[in-house]
Each structure stands twice: as C-alpha cells, then as structure tokens.
Amino acid sequence: MYVGDNSNLEFFTLDTEPTYTAKFISNTTNNDEEILEQIKNEATPTYLQYAITVNEENVAYVDTMDEAEEIVNNLSEDEKEKVDVGILKVYTNTLETINSEQVEIASTVESIVKEEVEEIEKKEVSSINGVYIAIQPISGIITSRFGDTSGRSRTHSGLDIAASTGTPIKACSDGIVKFSGYNGSYGNVVIVSNGNGVETYYAHCSKLYVSAGDEIKVGDIVGTVGSTGNSTGPHLHLEIRLNGTSINPQKYVYN
C-alpha cells in the first residue's frame, strides 16, 4: 500500500471504476512516481486518527493510540470516575480539519474534563434526592427565611422573596404540575412534583399560568408574584418538600 509521507493515511478509494484495454506496449521502464501520482489524483484518501472523547463528544485528536492513552492515563482517577472519558478511531477524508485542532491537546482535554467535573459537582450540591434545583425562580430580597418564627403562629416552612407584583416566576426544576389554584393561606399556588419525592411550591401568586397535569421545564413561567392568601405584601413563598417534609430551600438556591 502506498502511504506517501503521511503516517495517518490509511487507504485510498478510487473515485471511478477503472477500465482496461489490451494493447501492445514498448519494452520501456514505467515511471512509478507518475503512476502513483495519477492514482492519487483519481482517488480519495482516508486518514486515521484517534479522538479523545469526553461524555461521548470528540474533544481532541492525536495521531496514535499510544498518544491518546497517555493523555487519558494522565487524568486523575477522581475525574475519570465522574466523567466518561474514552478513545475512538476516527476516519476522515480531510486531515487538515482534524490537524487544526491539535493545539496543546493534553491541556485542552484536561481543561474540558475539569469543567465537566465542576458542572457535575455543582449539580450534586444543588441536588435534592437526585432532583437538580437549577435556577432562582425570581430575583429579589429575602424577607423571611426557613424556620423563622417571628410574628408567626408557626415555624416558617419556606423562603419569602420580595418582588414587584407581576414579576414572572420561573420553575426552578423540571416536573409535573400537581396543583394550580387557590389554597388557603398559600393563596394562588402552583405545586410541582419533581420526582423522587420532591415537590416545589410557588405561593401567593397574582396570576397562574399552568394547570394540573402540565409538564414543565426549568425556566418555564408558572405564575407571577402577588400577595394572595396569608400575605402582607407582594412576594414569592418558595417551599420545597421531600417526602412530605419541608426542607430549607437555601441549601439549594439563594445560597
């Protein structure tokens, strides 16, 4: 097999089916270089390289398996336990595209892995029984914290965040709307079942934009800030329950 000067060249594929004609030729020496050059001009080259993958995405390329294994082996075991790192054979007809990505390959891979680990650890910190609390439902001033008893007949079961009436309230986690309507001291409230025994309450709303049974995603608007129910001013009462017991929202959001 002819591989020329490039060790990454795996094989050539002829673009057209060759035709043959029987004829007499003079007894002269063929120019091998001209023949090979003609073959190259009429064929498509296929190159082989090795991609280093992070969570099944190609993030860097090297020429040999040994190089790929060295980069992967130099990553810490703790990182590789959290992030899926692998090596994949890559065949391409445009080696230049791959080669352009070979800049400080090892540090690039290490940087990407660290970013992935940090994101995973962030989710672990903000996770309740496997449910990720992704965002703050509103921006505002915290006026009453979980466990507060001042001026109350019972311990505060959530977190109050003051904001203007009509401020959109975003879902802080994915889930299914369990209840949407008026419910005593909560006023207008949306209760979302997030799975694994986790429920989020968005209370004292002025308007409700979802109905029971709706599937919602992080960032969806579930209602607007108001002062309905047992409330002395516009605010969001955010409550999180795990298996029916209220837990401190500030362990996962507004911390």
Task: Report in angstroms the alpha-carbon separations of 91 from 46, 68, 85, 104, 123.
Answer: 6, 15, 19, 22, 36
Q: What is the SS3 assignment for 86? A: strand
Report the pLDDT value the prediction gives residue 95, as an integer from 0 to 100. Answer: 59
Residues with Cβ < 8 Å from 82, sequence gap 6 or more?
Answer: 116, 117, 120, 121
Domains of the chain: 9-125 (no CATH), 131-251 (2.70.70.10)
pTM, 2 dp: 0.59
Residues with Cβ < 8 Å from 91, sequence gap 6 or more?
Answer: 10, 46, 47, 48
**203: closest CA among 231, 238, 167, 250?**
238
- Residue 174 CB-density burial (10 A; 0-12 exposed, 13-18 middle, 19+ buried): middle
Report the pLDDT value the prediction gives residue 214, as an integer from 0 to 100. Answer: 98
190 within 8 A of 222, measured Cβ to Cβ: yes
CA torsion, points 214, 220, 221, 225, in degrees to nearest 10? 110
pLDDT per residue rounded down to tens, the chain (255 residues): 334 445 666 555 655 665 556 555 555 545 667 666 666 666 777 888 898 999 888 888 888 898 899 889 988 888 888 899 999 998 877 655 554 444 478 888 888 999 888 888 777 767 899 899 989 999 999 999 999 988 777 899 999 999 999 999 999 999 999 999 999 999 999 999 999 999 999 999 999 999 999 999 999 999 999 999 999 999 999 999 999 999 999 999 987
DSSP string, 104-154: SHHHHHHHHHHHHHHHHHHHHHTEETTEE--S-S---EEEE-TT--TT-SS
Report the pLDDT value the prediction gives residue 3, as an integer from 0 to 100. Answer: 42
Report the pLDDT value the prediction gives residue 30, as an integer from 0 to 100. Answer: 59
Please name the amino acid found at residue 227. Answer: S
Distance separating alpha carbons of residues 254 and 62, to the nearest angstrom: 43
